[in-house]
Structure 1
């Protein structure tokens, strides 16, 4: 009892301290971000990258954006390769020992994202503690530390290469968790680091069903696969029968909207849901208000944020702004400078600000995952909201989907074409399609204009996928596991065509 009391007092002290710090950056956001930028520049001024772009001469944000180029992974890769081969002081002081291997959702080629000691400790691990601190502060009656957290990371095996390590971000984090986190989570480190997904899934089910679980952390789609397997193996009607003390799911990676109703049925009772926004490159935002659809942009993780308005995106020299000049409900491509050594790095996510005091955001999509074949600028958030309304109207439920344009041909209008795997199919697919189309028109004026009299765009085409289509397709591509995502939209037919062919084979 004395040990538990001491543990709780330490936890409560940390929560109070950290909430005070979060409130401070909420009250002083611009000063906090300025401090982040100039501390990074000072820290890295003597690196190869810092010397090349004159970090020591930068004294303002305008200097920074005029002197330092915007880069994609492909632009920055030569520097990363030097660091991976053991060279030090390339873009961050010292020797980068860890790299998070990530293929993302568009490139088959692996990316190796640098994870410095500073980014590991002051961003990724700090964010994990903040997630719990924010939740516990919002819900003082919580029992998080009485029961275990079920974590579901990617298939995670660490590899040694050039005297540096690389592997999934989840592997890097799990290997470096403090002991007290390890004893409060399940499955064990040994099982969490298994690389083959099907074998790992069986091992997870075998272990976690013997534990008392109070919270989940993971990607909704893959967590659902695990929970469905748990119900199958245990014979329980709902997850709450197995874990009656389950209270919260911390989820990220993909939108939760298409999965919300299915989770209610799977779990069998109401629990809380908190969204997070993270990637191999950094941890960016945490939902800080219960039952909100927005997340607090975390400003003191060693990440300096810039934003490219989407009407500027793709230009040779796009306009960039920082927090001082952002507007509500405008789509921005996210540009980051991190304590992992990424400088003005285009991460590929698009966001909208929902609040400017404090700065809260929603993820609106990906810079490569949208449909704009006809000037309609259709983003993922438009589609997911419309699908949610369509499901509500037809008592249906969705597991996975992807969409792409049908290009104009032989004088015919274009269209958008989707393949959707349903958990529960709509009895009237035409009604589902009509509601979906109407909601897209309501939420996106560009789409509505292109749909006028079917002149540019005809009604969406929707195909019903056979069971496990997406799972089998992801398996064929070597992308099973908690950190892999089904690409939702594409401006070409790269993903849709193989899925359509597989659906009839």
Structure 2
């Protein structure tokens, strides 16, 4: 396998100048992508409705084409799902990425065109390893197998001649033969739709492989690693995979889990951790500096044209958006995308914050629908994760999962936030953990702090510490096990809180 590793490393190094080119010329790259998208879609139904043939500039595009949400775009997507051609994009669509549905109650189906598969999702996977090689030229990661913890794929319910599933499942099913050779488990196991059966088979097969990398969501990776360690009687995963090099993670923030991976699973300074921002809608950003966790390079030549909406514009009929050259550092924006899968000025639901310009690096700061603002506190996911990380660091705790929501005011009672937290390692001092959680939230969010002043509007958070496995049981009840499904961190209502508390009550 050493020869295979050397060949792949050589190939990846050849890709680096392309990345360096768009880093050096970001505005020009985005202008080229914009013009290609408009030209390609000009004779689609959408393109003719909004006069793409007459659009010459980004300003004209912003004036003529509305910002879309999934709900407003769905009448067009539904027609594509049913097999109607040339609606949003000229190429035939044979696959649809099905979202985990964490932004609303319905599943979302995103078209995956041949262009988005090849020029975006696959390109992102290759560039992910290119940037690893750039950071670690002596890597031997390709001498072993890459473990992919993916989702499922099956017939499209609107048209069984096409397929729908997690974006990871779509990608894995369509990998070229050489890509299948360097990954594990076999495709027939990776795409099983029964999570419990998949977990058992993955643990059995992957424990016998020389796994050197993992690509997956931290929460579900933890479930698999715990299963393997238990079955193998191992004290750490390095006893099972001594040559392990890199964990490529995404979908949820990694810093609440970092200590768990570095102390329990891979207690060594040698494994690396590489963050990706790969959504159903497209591959967006990659960590290009291993020394800067959480900061990712915006990938500008994947057939995606980006706009950025100031948060105060969300919900307006004609919101103002910014192009890449107009954004400011350390300010959150709702991400807007026009893509080679036929999404036009599409509000993905994430918020991002730029940490550098030229080249453009960003971090995910939250969700446009995942927040708590029941009392005017505007608490976002970034605030919650900062508080969890700080409280854990000072009390030796390791958090497996958490969610939070409001306790509403009523009958003279004051409001507060209610948290449900599952630990893999409990804090040395529970009271201190809860106090630090509250204090950090007050430090990072001035609106929350104002509401907490002398308990005038908000009382200290109410925290439930739940047994290990609680969130797993809850996700199972929601049929959201495995794949890209993830625990919603914040909610502006009590739906998730009440469901989880019901699970706890039933288990007592």
Q: Which runs of 5+ in 1 are unaligned?
A: none
Check the 8 A contact 1:169/1:280 in 2, yes or no: yes
2:53 corresponds to which of 53, 56, 59: 56
Tell me the equivalent position of 1:67: 64
Per mean C-alpha deviation after superposition, the further-off stretch among 281-290 and 465-474 is: 465-474
Tell me the equivalent position of 1:494: 495
**1:73-472 map, 5 Å:** 73-159=70-156, 161-264=159-262, 265-270=264-269, 271-292=271-292, 293-472=294-473
Shift of 1:13: 4.5
Check the 8 A contact 1:186/1:208 in 2, yes or no: yes
Shift of 1:78: 1.2
Q: State how far apart, in whole Å, the 1-side matches of 2:88 and 2:103 are.
A: 26
- 1:293-317 CA-to-partner distances (Å, cap 9, x unmatched) read 2000000000011111112212222
What SS class does the counterpart of residue 141 from structure 2 fall into? coil
Check the 8 A contact 2:5/2:140 in 1, yes or no: no
What SS class does the counterpart of residue 321 from structure 1 fall into? coil
Q: State how far apart, in whole Å, the 1-side matches of 2:68 and 2:485 are.
A: 24
Count of matched residue pairs: 502
Q: State how far apart, in whole Å, the 1-side matches of 2:227 and 2:154 are.
A: 23
Shift of 1:102: 1.9
Q: State how far apart, in whole Å, the 1-side matches of 2:160 and 2:203 are.
A: 36
Tell me the equivalent position of 1:476: 477
Check the 8 A contact 2:416/2:459 in 1, yes or no: yes
What SS class does the counterpart of residue 457 from structure 2 fall into? coil
Q: Which runs of 5+ in 2 are unaligned?
A: none
Shift of 1:414: 1.7
- 1:320-373 CA-to-partner distances (Å, cap 9, x unmatched) read 111111111111111100000100111111111111121101111111101112
What SS class does the counterpart of residue 19 from structure 1 fall into? helix
Q: State how far apart, in whole Å, the 2-side matches of 1:295 and 1:476 are.
A: 34
Shift of 1:12: 4.2
Shift of 1:179: 1.4
Q: State how far apart, in whole Å, the 2-side matches of 1:94 and 1:118 are.
A: 8
- 1:5-29 CA-to-partner distances (Å, cap 9, x unmatched) read 4x55653443233211111111111
- 1:270-300 CA-to-partner distances (Å, cap 9, x unmatched) read 3110100011110100000012120000000
Check the 8 A contact 1:83/1:95 in 2, yes or no: no
In the superposition, the TM-score normalised over structure 2's length comes to 0.96
Q: State how far apart, in whole Å, the 1-side matches of 2:226 and 2:7 are.
A: 37
Q: State how far apart, in whole Å, the 1-side matches of 2:5 and 2:475 are.
A: 43
In the superposition, the TM-score normalised over structure 1's length comes to 0.96
- 1:447-466 CA-to-partner distances (Å, cap 9, x unmatched) read 22222121122211111113
Q: State how far apart, in whole Å, the 2-side matches of 1:498 and 1:375 are.
A: 25
